[in-house]
Amino acid sequence: MRNRKLLYVTISLLLLDGITGGLWEDVLAEDPITAQQERNDASISLASVAKDGKWGFIDQEGRIVIELQWDYAYPFSEGLACVQKDGQYGYIYSAGVAMEPQWGFAFPFSNGLAIVHHEGQTVYIDQEGYVTLESWWDESQPFSEGLAPVSKDGKWGYIDPTGNIAIDLQWDWVGPFIEGLAFVNKDGKWGYIDPAGDIAIDLQWDGAGPMVEGLAWVQKDGKYGYIDPMGDVVIDFQWDDAFFFAEGLGRVAKDGKYGYIDPTGGVVIEPQWDYADFLFSEGLAYIRKEHTHGYIDQAGNVVIEPQWENAGSFSKGLACVMKDGKYGYINPAGDVVIDFLWDAAFPFTQ
């Protein structure tokens, strides 16, 4: 269940432009005015990195700006980064600790709220650390478009920012609201609802994903296609795998090879790679050929030859790559701008 939560949070933050990433009552900075100033100063791009089991943050010059002291650190989201120490989670600004580690688990902020585990309950806190919503649910997920999924006794629905039930708890599983629709599951079939809780697209699919850029992948009889917000099939069921669209392209797979299609279903980049980035970011996507990673542009041209052991999406003009078991960062020209010093690393955010 914890892994499912983490996957949900990651996808939600990706979709909400946060990165695809908590905590509590009476947990305030000593000086709220100073804390607000520190938060407002958090305009530089930072990446969380790890070395010898400790995490900290670097800037785009590769300089350590937050010392490596945490057991784990999520990327910054909405001005705060979730960090872990001695099994407890808290939050930091770029200029210092905002909320001391004290919760059993926590997730990054989304829509101004974060989920944390507080006194045996899963609750929401605001960016000052106050509990804004007391828990009556068994599980909860981040807010998106003003609504958050919650479950009780195995059934899911949605609450509004006041904690009131906005959509009755009736679904076996649900997704975040994106572009006014959320995918839902009941009795093994998937469809979509609107923010009023009305069924917008009948539950008929074997699988479904979020509506992004006006299209959503759905699964039928083991194959993937895409539908529009009206529920009409606009790209036929011909793919072995599919992901949501970004920057006008959707990743698809056939016979174990990955490529990209346009919103009409036309193949823009033939499935030829052993693996490919979930989505294009800043005009580039990483690809894998055998055991090395490189990057392609939106025309499918290889702009950075496969040479890295691992690779991530471009963010803030840099991408994290691995060489000889260590991580560094490259620019869109493929130049190494931050040396391979790190045991683990995340993309730049903020």
Q: What integer pLDDT is reported at residue 43 of this predicted model?
A: 66
Nearest to 166 by CA among 195, 136, 134, 200: 195
List Cβ neighbours of 72 (8 Å cut-off, separation of 6 or more): 55, 83, 84
Q: What is the CA 318 to chain-centroid distance, rounded? A: 18
- Cα of first residue to Cα of last residue in the chain, in angstroms, is 29
DSSP-assigned letters across all residues of 40-59: HTTTS-BEEEEETTEEEEE-
Residue 301 φ/ψ region, left for φ over 0, alpha for ψ in the -120 to 50 degree band, beta for the rest:
beta
* pTM of the full structure: 0.86
List Cβ neighbours of 34 (8 Å cut-off, separation of 6 or more): none
Own/partner pairs, 192-195, CB within 8 angstroms, 24+ separation: 192/216, 192/231, 193/167, 195/145, 195/146, 195/147, 195/166, 195/167
Domains along the sequence of the chain with CATH: 1-135 (2.40.128)
**DSSP class of 197:** S
List Cβ neighbours of 149 (8 Å cut-off, separation of 6 or more): 140, 141, 156, 157, 158, 174, 175, 176, 182
pLDDT in tens, the chain (350 residues): 334 444 444 444 444 443 332 222 222 222 332 334 344 455 689 999 999 999 999 999 999 999 999 999 999 999 999 999 999 999 999 888 889 999 999 999 999 999 999 888 889 999 999 999 988 999 999 999 999 999 999 999 999 999 999 999 999 999 999 999 999 999 999 999 999 999 999 999 999 999 999 999 999 999 999 999 999 999 999 999 999 999 999 999 999 999 999 999 999 999 999 999 999 999 999 999 999 999 999 999 999 999 999 999 999 999 999 999 999 999 999 999 999 999 999 999 97
